[in-house]
Amino acid sequence: MTLGQRLAWDDTVLPFQLDHADIRGRVARLDGVLDAILNQHDYPPAVEVLIAEMALLTALIGQTIKLRWKLSLQLQTTGAVRRIASDYFAPAQEGDPARMRAYASFDRDGVHDGDAFGQLGEGYFALLVDQGQGSTPYQGITPLTGHALGASAEAYFAQSEQLPTRFALGFAKSAGHWRAGGVMLQHMPKASPFARDDATGDDGLLAARDIVHGEDAENWGRANLLLDTVETPELIGPSVSPADLLVRLFHEEGPRVFDTQAVRFGCTCSEERVRNSLSIYSARDIAHMTTEDGVVTADCQFCGAHYRLDPATLGFDSPEAKGELE
pLDDT over 50 (residue 222): yes
106 beta partners: 81
The residue type at 216: D
Q: What is the pLDDT of residue 213?
A: 80
What is the pTM for the complete model shown?
A: 0.83
Do the bridges between strand 98-106 and strand 261-265 make them parallel or antiparallel, or are there none, so unpaired?
parallel
Cβ count near 221 (within 10 Å): 14
Which residues does 18 contact at the CB level (< 8 Å), separation at least 6?
Answer: 24, 25, 223, 250, 253, 254, 255, 256
Q: What is the pLDDT of residue 132?
A: 83
Compute the Cα dihedral for 111, 125, 178, 38 and give only its sign. Answer: negative
Q: Which CATH number fits domain 12-265: 3.55.30.10, 3.30.70.260, 3.30.300.30, 1.10.300.10?
A: 3.55.30.10
DSSP state of 156: H
Q: What mean pLDDT do residues 143-166 have?
A: 92
Q: Which of 110-119, 182-191, 257-266 has the lowest mean pLDDT?
A: 182-191
Give the architecture (CATH level 2) of 271-325: Alpha-Beta Complex (3.90)
Per-residue pLDDT tens digits for 293-308: 888 887 777 777 777 8
Q: What mean pLDDT do residues 192-199 have?
A: 49
* Angstrom distance (rounded) from CA 246 to CA 255: 7
Q: What mean pLDDT do residues 306-318 have?
A: 76
Per-residue pLDDT tens digits for 18-30: 999 989 999 999 9
167 beta partners: 184
Q: What is the pLDDT of residue 302?
A: 76
Task: For the chain, give every domain's residue range.
Answer: 12-265, 271-325
H or E stretch covering 48: helix 45-62
* Angstrom distance (rounded) from CA 162 to CA 192: 10
pLDDT over 60 (residue 107): yes
Most confidently modeled range among 88-102, 172-186, 207-221, 281-295: 88-102
Q: What is the pLDDT of residue 227?
A: 97
pLDDT over 60 (residue 148): yes
Q: What is the pLDDT of residue 6?
A: 54
Q: Which of 33-42, 62-71, 171-180, 184-193 has the lowest mean pLDDT?
A: 184-193
